[in-house]
Amino acid sequence: MPLVNTKRMFDEAMKGKFAIGAFNVNNMEIIQGIMWACKEKQAPVILQISKGARKYASMRYLHALINAACEEMPGIPVAIHLDHGDFDTTMKCIDEGFTSVMYDGSGETFDKNIENTKKIVERAHAHKPFVTVEAELGKLGGIEEDVVGVGADDVEKHLTDPKQVQEFVKRSGCDSLAVAIGTSHGAYKFKKAPKLAFDRIEEIGRLVPNFPLVMHGSSSVPQEFIDFVNSYAVLESKNKKMLEVALKQGWEQMPGSMGVPEEAISKASKMAVCKVNIDTDLRLAMTANILKVWGECNAELLKWIEGGKQGSRPKFSFDPREYLGPAREAIRDMVARKLDVLGCAGKAGLFK
């Protein structure tokens, strides 16, 4: 199946009351893990590329990897989407093979945001093939790459105003809109359990019916993965004294991390939210499993030293395949889990 834009994806999601998972990609292992999960679950998917990913991997490599994945799994509908683009980058990506772009004008005034979004929409919709445009209204919290949101205490002060959405959509012509409903970027989203503004989603849906909304900053930061990281991260220490202290006193590599509950994401997916962005959870799953491989190597070495160095020295996994392989499997498992939460598992057949 050739690459698609998000228009039909969102039409089907709106009718079926589910959401499409939008996952950020940076390298081969992440792309493979995502696509393997989508094939297993028969789910459509949006592969997101941020400004940071463009700089890290270059579009030539990312395009080649995504095209290879599409050829390998022709039954899976795939959109390539620009995540949080500035005006110039968004304009450039329209001509770079993206099927969907997101212009983040949330830092601009209301009128300037509309003005810039409209210019991008005119360019994207005139492009052959047609490119869909996501805009953003309201401000999220947290930090992710170049995106710096409001502080945790100010998130509720910058939620999207439903009354502004109607005017924004009409004047800008955007195809979907990222709204601030209490979510936040990164792994350290909240100081306490979040309270998402579902009433705002309902109000926006009433004022702008059948219009697709987008949730950014929607990783759940599962506690089991935080525990996973904590259990192995200390074993990376080269300082034996530090290791001893950490093991005695407990070790937290990511204290205070907290995400959006999966039940809240599932609830939003049954409303007007048609796209949910997930990045941090993939990073967490990947990093935890890399640490596990190295942590287990170090644990075996520690046992060998404490046992008087009997027998052969334990092997250290320095072959990238030995730690990136399990990391890739972890990506697949995490994405498969999210596809069930979003309700888009089994929906690939809608696009044939």
What's the average model confidence in pLDDT over 118-125?
Answer: 98
pLDDT at 209: 95
Omega before 320 within 30 of 0, i.e. cis? no
- Do the domain assignments include residue 307? no
> Which range is least confidently modeled, 130-134, 143-147, 301-305?
143-147
pLDDT category of residue 225 using cuts at 50, 70 and 90: confident
Q: At what angle do helices 87-94 and 110-126 cross, to 10 degrees?
A: 10
SS3 assignment for the chain: CCCCCCHHHHHHHHHHCCCEEEEECCCHHHHHHHHHHHHHHCCCEEEEEEHHHHHHHCHHHHHHHHHHHHHHCCCCCEEEEEEEECHHHHHHHHCCCCCEEEECCCCCCHHHHHHHHHHHHHHHHHCCCCCEEEEEECCCECEECCEECECHHHHHHHCCCHHHHHHHHHHHCCCEEEECCCCECCCECCCCCCCCCHHHHHHHHHHCCCCCEEECCCCCCCHHHHHHHHHHHHHHCCCHHHHHHHHHHCCCCCCCCECCCHHHHHHHHCCCEEEEEECHHHHHHHHHHHHHHHHHHHHHHHHHHHCCCCCCCCCCCCCHHHHHHHHHHHHHHHHHHHHHHHCCCCCHHHHC
- Do the domain assignments include residue 304? no
- Do the domain assignments include residue 183? yes
pLDDT averaged over the chain?
Answer: 86
- Looking at residue 238, its amino acid is K
pLDDT at 151: 43
Q: What is the pTM of this model?
A: 0.88
Structure-model confidence comparison of residues 143 and 94, the more confident one: 94
Which one from 11, 83, 86, 153 is the annotated catalytic residue?
Answer: 83
pLDDT at 22: 97
Does pLDDT of 71 surpass 70?
yes
Please tell me the distance from the alpha carbon of residue 62 to that of residue 10, in angstroms, as a whole number: 24
pLDDT in tens, 25-65: 999 999 999 999 999 999 999 999 999 999 999 999 999 99
- Buried-state track 303-320, b at ≥16 Cβ within 10 A, e below 16: eeeeeeeeeeeeeeeeee
Write the CATH number for 18.
Answer: 3.20.20.70
Catalytic residue status for 83: yes
pLDDT at 307: 87
- Do the domain assignments include residue 1? no
What's the average model confidence in pLDDT over 215-225?
Answer: 79
- Beta carbons within 10 angstroms of residue 15's beta carbon: 10
- Do the domain assignments include residue 341? yes
pLDDT in tens, 237-284: 555 555 666 656 666 666 666 678 889 889 999 999 999 999 989 999
Report which of 149, 167, 158 is spatially closest to residue 204, judged by C-alpha positions: 167
What's the average model confidence in pLDDT over 295-303?
Answer: 80
pLDDT category of residue 142 using cuts at 50, 70 and 90: very low
Please tell me the distance from the alpha carbon of residue 168 to that of residue 40, in angstroms, as a whole number: 38
- Beta carbons within 10 angstroms of residue 219's beta carbon: 27
- Do the domain assignments include residue 62? yes
> Which structural domain, as residue segments, surrounds residue 154?
7-220+258-279+335-351
Report which of 212, 318, 194 is spatially closest to residue 261, judged by C-alpha positions: 194
What's the average model confidence in pLDDT over 70-81?
Answer: 96
- Do the domain assignments include residue 173? yes
pLDDT in tens, 124-137: 999 999 999 999 99
- Do the domain assignments include residue 330? no
Q: How many domains does the chain have?
A: 1
